[in-house]
Amino acid sequence: MAFKNDQVSEIETAKILEIAREGILRDGDFVEMGCYKGDTSLLLAEILIGTNKRLFIYDSFEGLPEKSGEDESIIGKDFKAKELFVTKREVKQRFLRANLPVPVIKKAWFKELSFNDLPEKISFAFLDGDFYESILESLKLVENKMVKDGVIIIHDFANPALPGVAKAVDEWNMDKKLKIEIFKSMAIIKLR
Ligand SMILES: C[S@@+](CC[C@H](N)C(=O)[O-])C[C@H]1O[C@@H](n2cnc3c(N)ncnc32)[C@H](O)[C@@H]1O
């Protein structure tokens, strides 16, 4: 099924799905932190049909949080608190209308989530929270759940309008020194 993706470019979406498909072969479930309307989530749900894997998606469903100082950028003035608002109900309805299995949908600020809110093992994680704190919190939530060779994709790593994303990833990776592959705006990290 061809779903329109407002937030992620076509070429990035194709890469996400290519990597996610490889994730089906590993142990562990799929996670998306910052799902917004569910454009990417719908595509992930579609490729999981017929597998034993579950999709877990997370969002405040209150739009973006406040920026921190790490996120300030002259060209990123558009990203304001409460933008990208959608309700959890609307997202759930999209899955039902598309006749796709409804994922586990959690409404929370990432900082309110505990490890119990995430699957036990994660094979593939897509982090798309736009801001420094959102990305750092997401990384800390998924890092110890990732299976060997599991992949984390972080959107907007190379997006100058959202400088907090790269700051969060680089800070998190400082002691880990994991290889970061960059594809368009995305950072792709394979866990060892
Ligand atoms: C760019 S949108 C996500 C787009 C989506 N991944 C897609 O592919 O269509 C960013 C989303 O992250 C959510 N978000 C950002 N920071 C968050 C936080 N700290 N806690 C919860 N949700 C957050 C926003 O509410 C927004 O819906």
Higher pLDDT, 128 or 5: 128
Among 134, 135, 184, residue to substitute to test ligand 1 (most atoms within 8 Å of Cβ)? 134
- Ligand 1 and 164: CB distance under 6 A: no
Write b or e for each residue in 146-183: b if 16 or more Cβ atoms lie within 10 A of its Cβ, otherwise e.
Answer: bbeebbbbbbbbebebbbbbbbbbeebeeeeeeebeeb
Per-residue pLDDT at 20? 98
> Is residue 127 exposed (0-12), middle (13-18) or buried (19+ Cβ within 10 Å)?
buried
Kindly give the distance from the C-alpha atom of residue 169 to the centroid of ligand 1, in angstroms, as a whole number.
16
CA of 39 to the centre of ligand 1 (A): 12
Q: Which residue has the higher pLDDT, 53 or 80?
A: 53
Backbone angles phi, psi at 26, to 5 degrees: -95, 170
CA dist 153 and 185 (Å) reads 10
Q: Which amino acid is at 74?
A: I
Strand order in the sheet with 55-59: 104-107, 55-59, 29-33, 122-127, 146-154, 186-190, 180-183
125 lines ligand 1 (CB under 6 A): no
- The tens digit of pLDDT for each residue in 131-168 reads 999 999 999 999 999 999 999 999 999 999 999 999 99
- Of 90, 138, 114, 127, nearest to 7 by C-alpha is 127
What average pLDDT does this structure show over 21-32? 97
What percent of the chain is predicted at pLDDT more than 70? 98
Using the atom order of ligand 1, give the atom closest to the CA of residue 86.
27
Q: Is the pTM of this model over 0.95?
A: yes
Give SS3 for 125: strand
Ligand 1 close to Cβ of residue 186 (< 6 A): no
User: What is the distance between the alpha carbons of residues 139 and 113, in angstroms, rounded to a whole number?
Assistant: 12
Task: Dump pLDDT digits (tens) for 73-97.
Answer: 988 778 888 888 999 999 999 999 9
* Residue whose CA lies nearest to ligand 1 atom number 27: 36
CA distances from 33 to 77, 124, 128 (A): 22, 11, 6
- What local confidence, expressed as pLDDT, does residue 94 receive? 97
Round the average pLDDT of the chain to a whole number and report it: 95
Rounded percentage of the chain residues whose pLDDT exceeds 90 = 90
Cβ 16 under 6 angstroms from ligand 1 = no
Report whether residue 12 contacts ligand 1, using a CB cutoff of 6 Å: no
What is the per-residue pLDDT for 81?
87
Retrieve residue 7's tokens: 């937030």
CA of 127 to the centre of ligand 1 (A): 8
Give all domains of the chain, ordered by start, each with its CATH number: 10-190 (3.40.50.150)
Distance from residue 59's CA to the centre of ligand 1 (Å): 6
Ligand 1 neighbourhood includes 36 CB (under 6 angstroms): yes
Q: Report whether 54 contacts 104 (CB < 8 A).
A: yes
DSSP state of 76: G
In this predicted model, which residue has the larger pLDDT, 163 or 2? Answer: 163
